[in-house]
Amino acid sequence: MHARTHVDYQTAGGSVDHVLGLARLDGWLAVGATTAVLASHLSWHAALHELARGDCAAALRRYRSGIAPTAADSRGGIDAAGTLRWRLALRGQVVAPDDALLVLTAPVAAKPPFAFAAVHAGLVFAAAVGDAAAIAAVADRVRRDARPAYADVYAPVLDALLAFVEARYAECAAVLGALPPSELTRLGGSAVQRRVLVETRGVALLRAGCAVVARGPERALES
């Protein structure tokens, strides 16, 4: 089902395709035959179908019912919750700060175990009413990390998030646009997960007044 979900989403040509993909996912989730962690991840995929249809309210309901962590249940970590909250924020739907998510994010931000986690910590802080200081702190830690691509690829992604929350939209778009697509794949995760950077750059371009360029930002970030 997870593999089929990627196919449904990444080949969807319009709203009808997203409706069908969402129905397939909801049917699977209703059976309750998967693990809690994967159920959270599949719920995130379902929310992306809802966002693709322009239904932010449905995506927010799904976040609260099946994705947002609680004090007793991490539901698979920070990536699904963080990226969905940021995607909602990009659409003007700012979600109130989530204490349980921030508690989960704190140790990841303090000592990022890998690049994917570091960037998602930044997304959590960006969505949490634009916590610029927290994003800057993670970016500084990543920049001082000696692991390959941390200083020259992953830190700039966090710099771009910082620029966005500080309303330096043209700078955000320029930083993301300058990063080689081949390097961004080293963040890990799937193309669907990394697409949040495409959306971030697109919104940054629009807010910077570059409406024509913003229509096709994914060509600079995806390959």
For residue 9, count CB atoms less than 10 angstroms from its CB and return exposed for 0-12, middle for 13-18, buried for 19 or more. buried
- 70 phi and psi angles, rounded to 5 deg: -120, 175
What integer pLDDT is reported at residue 76 of this predicted model?
A: 64
Q: How confident is the model at residue 211 (pLDDT cuts 50, 70, 90)?
A: low
Alpha carbons 70 and 91: distance in angstroms, whole number: 24
- Contact assessment for residue 75 and residue 43, using Cβ atoms and an 8 Å cutoff: no
Contact 124, 158 (CB under 8 A): no
- Residue 92's region, left for phi above 0, alpha for psi from -120 to 50, else beta, is left
Determine the distance from the C-alpha atom of residue 135 to the mean position of all C-alpha atoms in its chain, rounded to a whole number.
Answer: 14
| Residue pLDDT, tens place only, 70-116 | 876 777 678 999 999 999 999 999 888 788 999 999 999 999 998 89
Task: Give the count of beta carbons closer than 10 Å to the beta carbon of residue 56.
Answer: 16
- Tell whether pTM > 0.85: yes
Average pLDDT for 128-157:
92
Confidence of residue 19 (pLDDT cuts 50, 70, 90): very high
pLDDT digit string (tens) for 158-174? 999 999 999 999 999 99
